Amino acid sequence: MQTIKAAVCRAFGEPLVIEDIQIAPPKSDEVEVTLDAVAICHSDISFAGGAWGGHLPAVYGHEAAGIITAVGDSAGEFQVGDPVVVTLIRACGSCPSCAGGKPTVCETPYDKVNGPLRTADGGPLEQAMACGAFAEKVVVSHRQIVKIPPSMPKDVASLLSCGVITGVGAAVNAAGLRPGQDVVVIGAGGVGLNAIQGARIAGARRIVAVDMTEEKLTIAKEFGATHGVLADQKAPWKAAYKALGGRGADAVLITVGAIPAYDQAPRYLGPGGKAVMIGMPHSGDMASYEPVVLAALGQGLIGSKMGDVVIQRDIPWMIDLYDQGRLKLDELISGRWSLSQINEAIEDTKTGSAKRNVIVFDRD
């Protein structure tokens, strides 16, 4: 086993600890990726805060990009030297969900505690979200990675691993938006801005961003929102109706984990519309709605995990849109930090002002 540096969570809600850990070589269907960059997602912060439980100690991080430095015997066409993005979508490829084109909800369990990571003294160390990318290297299934162009900056590419595919995919895949439809996006953070981009790419007529600050609404318009509504006003859905020409939305994309957003989401819908639940509230949080309204108006509530993407299909076309200037990625990066600064980067992300903070690894 190799020894590498990683940011380890040893107690929920406490700062991460930079320490030496051990990482095993890849198994037959796995690859080792030496990372250049990993972005900080709010899901990492929630996990490290204990929102969804889990085993400790653990290494979080799941939005990464780097270079393959070792491959197993059955790792597909991947080779040492390939630049790739690393996702948390560990799909078996053969369960009913995978076979049905839904690898984001793969039904085959994976033992994250007894994965490739160990503490320096050989103790158990959870590879959180099947990735564990707050570390210099990861060992993951070859189905979790996608090749990227050698010229694509790794810090930019890392954003494709979660925030971008979750937001864009929710609009394109989960909501199934068609040209001319109207959309409300609740939350203009990292995922929300990408949901807005996805709605724009899908051809939405009007895109209303809903958030708590004017600053975020201004940024939302830079990413494609046509209107902005402050969430803290009385009955914000009425302002959205006005922006949409006096009717409700065809789709509401909820990109935050705040329960009031889930309670209010159906109110933004028009007849036949659907609310897509993307954000991740804490375990035990409950939302409420009036089902008779949904039934009478033919409305729906659906969940969307990771934008319902098939990464081998969807990441390449998103890279093409980026190359064409039609998908903003560089503009999503708020700051670049070293691994030793990860706790400062997390605190900056918690303020809500950052779109995406990225940890950049120095290989020298």
- One digit per residue, pLDDT tens: the chain, 364 residues? 999 999 999 999 999 999 999 999 999 999 999 999 999 999 999 999 998 888 999 999 999 999 999 999 999 899 999 999 999 999 999 999 999 999 999 999 888 778 999 999 999 999 999 999 999 999 999 999 999 999 999 999 999 999 999 999 999 999 999 999 999 999 999 999 999 999 999 999 999 999 999 999 999 999 999 999 999 999 999 999 999 999 999 999 999 999 999 999 999 999 999 999 999 998 899 999 899 999 999 999 999 999 999 999 999 999 999 999 999 999 999 999 999 999 999 999 998 878 899 999 986 5
| DSSP bridge partners of 6 | 19, 135
Helix (H, G, I), strand (E, B) or coil at 24: coil
Q: Which helix (H) or strand (E) holds 33?
A: strand 30-39
Helix (H, G, I), strand (E, B) or coil at 318: helix
Q: Is the peptide bond before 260 cis (omega within 30 degrees of 0)?
A: no
240 vs 71: CA distance, rounded Å:
51
Fold exhibited by the domain 167-305: Rossmann fold (3.40.50)
Query: Which tokens go with 294?
Result: 């949904």
CATH superfamily membership of 2-161+328-360: Medium-chain alcohol dehydrogenases, catalytic domain (3.90.180.10)
Q: Give residue for tokens 């270079």.
A: 67
What is the residue type of 59? V
Q: Do 82 and 76 form a contact (C-beta atoms < 8 A)?
A: no
Residue 195: closest CA among 185, 203, 182: 185
327 vs 248: CA distance, rounded Å:
27
Domain ranges within the chain, ordered by starting residue: 2-161+328-360, 167-305
The 10 Å Cβ neighbour count of residue 341 is 16
Query: According to the model, what pLDDT value does residue 362 have?
Result: 83
127 vs 140: CA distance, rounded Å:
10
Query: Which tokens go with 2?
Result: 């190799």
Q: Give residue for tokens 């940890």.
A: 359
- Residues constituting the chain: 364
* 8-state DSSP, 206: E
Residues 6+ apart with CB under 8 A from 116: 23, 24, 26, 30, 127, 139
194 vs 183: CA distance, rounded Å:
13
Q: Do 46 and 257 form a contact (C-beta atoms < 8 A)?
A: yes
Query: According to the model, what pLDDT value does residue 354 have?
Result: 80
203 vs 153: CA distance, rounded Å:
28
- Whole-model pTM? 0.94
92 vs 95: CA distance, rounded Å:
7
The sheet carrying 206-211 orders its strands as 227-230, 206-211, 182-186, 249-254, 269-277, 300-303
